[in-house]
Structure 1
Amino acid sequence: MNVQLIAYTQLSDSFKKQIQSDIQFEYNERAAIALTAIRTCYSPNPPSEILSLEGNKYFGNKATDGKSGTEADRLFRHITGSGHSSTLEHLNYTFAIEGVSRALMGQLTRHRHLSFSIQSQRYVRFGSEDRSGGFAYVTPPSVEKNKDVVVNYNDFGDTETVGEIYETLMKRLQSGYDDLRKGGVTAEDCRSILPNAATTNIVLTGNLRTLLEFYNKRKPGKGAQYEITELAEGIKSKIIEVDEWLTAYFEEK
C-alpha cells in the first residue's frame, strides 16, 4: 500500500496579500481557515477581516486553558469539544492510494461524505499481455502467517501448503482471465472472475471532520480489518506531516 497526500485546502494568493500587512504571527493555513470559520459564528466582524482583526489575539498568545499551543488551539479544543465540529468541514485533503484490494474499496464505500475516483476494471485491461502485465493482488496476513501449514485436499493424501493454495488460485484466475479474453470475452466481462484480493488505485478526498470520523472507526483497536486500519494510519500520518496541530484530534478516544 502506498498513501500520498497530493492536495489540501490553502488560502488563496489574493487573500494572503490582503491580510499580509496585518498579520504579526506565524500561522498554519488550515488552522487560519478553521479560525475564520469558527469566529464567523460568534464574531461581529466579517469573515474576510477576521484574521486581520482577530488573528494576532488567537495565534499570537499562549493558550489560557493551561494546555499546549496558542489561544487558537484552545478555541479549537473548546469548539470541537462542544460538538461544533462542522467548522472542520472547510478543510479538505486529497490522497493517492495505490495497491489496495478491491475488498478495502468496498469497506471504504460504507463511509459517507468521502469522494472517490477508482481505477476501473472495465477500462483497464488486466490480461498478462496487456500493459498492466496482469492483475496484482494482496496477500492477507493470516495467509502469510499460515503459508507453511499443510492441507490435505483429496482422498489420496495429496497436500499443498496454504501459501501454495493461495498463489495457485491467483494464477488460475489470471490464466482464466487470459483465456476468456482469447475466446472473445470483453475485458469488462472478464473482470467478473477477478478476486477481492485484486489491487486497485484510488484518489480519495474528504473534509477533516469526515476523515477524523473515518479514523476513529478504523484505527487500531477498533476491530477493523488490517488493510483499512493500515490505510487509516497512513491518512493520519500524512495529515499530521502538514498539520501537526491536528495530532491531538487523532489521539482522542
Structure 2
Amino acid sequence: MAETKMNVQLIAHTQVSRSFLDTFVPFGSETHGQAVALTAIRTCYSPNKPSEIVAKEGEKYFGSKASDGGAGTDADRLFRHIFASKHTSTLEHISFTFAIEGVSRALLAQLTRHRVGFSFSVQSQRYVRMGSADRSGGFDYVVPEKVTSDKTAVECADYDLTAEDIFDDAMKYAQESYDLLREAGVPAEDARAVLPNAAATNLVMTANLTALLSFYSKRKPGKGAQKEITELAEALRREVVDVEPWTAQFFEEV
C-alpha cells in the first residue's frame, strides 16, 4: 500500500492506412489526423469520392496559406470554420487511446459520466486482489491536494492530528479491514466494499477528438471541477496536442 501519482500516456491515435497514404504525397507538415479530418469534412461538400479527396484537393488545402488571413494552411482555415460552425461530427473520426494510471476511484466515477465517444477498460477490484500479502502489495491510494495542504491540527484523544494524519490512518485502517475480511474467508469481490474512494485504479480509455474537446470544456481548470480531474484534463490535452498540434486552438476555445 502506498500513495501514488497520476500518469497519463498516449498509447495510440488515428493513423491513415498504407493503401490510403500511397494515394497522395504529403504536402508538408500535415498530420494523419488532418488528412482524416479533411477527408471527412470535404466528403460532406465535395463531388469527389472520400478516397480521392486528399489526392485531388490536398494541394488546395495543405499547399496554400489560409485564405482567411489566419495562421497555417487553408486546411487550418477549414478546420477553424468547421469548429466555429459546430460541425464537429466530422472530427469524431479521429481517436486517441490513453493509458491512465494512478487515479482515484472518485475520479473514475466522475470520468465515466462522460459516455458519448468514450470507451473504458478499468482495472477490476473484483479480480485484482488488494491484500497486503497479494501480488498488488495492497491498494495504492491518491491523496487530495487539500488534505496535504491543510496543516490545521485537531485534537483526538491525547494527540493533535493534521488532515494528512487522519487520512493516512484511514487508509491503513481500510487496508487492515480488507486483509482481515480476506483472512476470514470473504472473497475479494465482497471485501472490496471497504476500500475507499481514494483507492487508486488504472484504465485504458479511448475517445474521439470531439468527445475530448467536450470533456475538456467541462473539466478544465477554472470550471469548478475537482483538482484531480482537472489535472487529467490537462494531461489528456497535452498528449493530444503533442501528436496533433493543430488541435491546440480548439482546446483553447472550448
Interval containing the TM-score (normalised by the shorter chain): over 0.9
Instruction: Give, as a single letter, the amino acid of the residue that structure 1 aligns with 2:211.
Output: T
Match of 2:81 among 78, 81, 85: 78
The residue that corresponds to 1:18 in the other structure is 23
Residue 159 to residue 25, structure 1, CA distance change in 2 (3 Å): closer
Distance 2:103 2:204 in 1: 12
The residue that corresponds to 2:128 in the other structure is 124
Secondary structure of 1:106's counterpart equals helix
TM-score w.r.t. length of structure 2? 0.95
CA deviation vs aligned residue, 1:189-208 (integer Å, no higher than 9, x gap): 11000000000001000000
Distance 1:149 1:185 in 2: 38
Structural RMSD (CA): 1.1
CA deviation vs aligned residue, 1:67-104 (integer Å, no higher than 9, x gap): 10000000111112111110000000000000000000
Structure 1: segments with no counterpart, 5+ residues: none
Instruction: Give, as a single letter, the amino acid of the residue that structure 2 aligns with 1:250.
Output: F
Give the conservation status (yes or no) of the 8 Å contact 1:9–1:92: yes
Q: What does residue range 217-228 of structure 1 map to in structure 2 within 5 Å? A: 217-228=218-229
The residue that corresponds to 1:56 in the other structure is 59
CA deviation vs aligned residue, 1:112-150 (integer Å, no higher than 9, x gap): 22110000000000000000000011111111011x321
Give the conservation status (yes or no) of the 8 Å contact 1:103–1:196: yes
Determine if the alignment matches structure 1 residue 249 to structure 2 residue 254: no
Determine if the alignment matches structure 1 residue 43 to structure 2 residue 43: no
Distance 2:31 2:136 in 1: 41
Give the conservation status (yes or no) of the 8 Å contact 2:37–2:90: yes
Give the conservation status (yes or no) of the 8 Å contact 2:100–2:202: yes
The residue that corresponds to 2:166 in the other structure is 165
Instruction: Give, as a single letter, the amino acid of the residue that structure 2 aligns with 1:120.
Output: S
Secondary structure of 1:42's counterpart equals coil
The Cα of 1:162 is off from its aligned counterpart by 1.8
Pairs aligned (count): 248
CA deviation vs aligned residue, 1:6-30 (integer Å, no higher than 9, x gap): 001110011112334xx54442110
Match of 1:30 among 22, 29, 33: 33
Distance 1:208 1:51 in 2: 20
Distance 2:217 2:93 in 1: 19
Distance 1:162 1:24 in 2: 57
Give the conservation status (yes or no) of the 8 Å contact 2:83–2:250: no
Secondary structure of 1:19's counterpart equals coil
The residue that corresponds to 2:68 in the other structure is 65
Q: What does residue range 89-168 of structure 1 map to in structure 2 within 5 Å? A: 89-113=92-116, 114-146=118-150, 148-154=151-157, 158-168=159-169
CA deviation vs aligned residue, 1:172-193 (integer Å, no higher than 9, x gap): 1101111111110111111000
Residue 58 to residue 107, structure 1, CA distance change in 2 (3 Å): same
Distance 1:206 1:13 in 2: 23
Distance 2:90 2:27 in 1: 24
Identity %: 59
Give the conservation status (yes or no) of the 8 Å contact 2:27–2:62: no
Distance 1:251 1:210 in 2: 15
The Cα of 1:110 is off from its aligned counterpart by 1.2
The Cα of 1:158 is off from its aligned counterpart by 4.3
Give the conservation status (yes or no) of the 8 Å contact 2:33–2:94: yes
Residue 111 to residue 24, structure 1, CA distance change in 2 (3 Å): closer
The residue that corresponds to 2:239 in the other structure is 238
Structure 2: segments with no counterpart, 5+ residues: 1-5
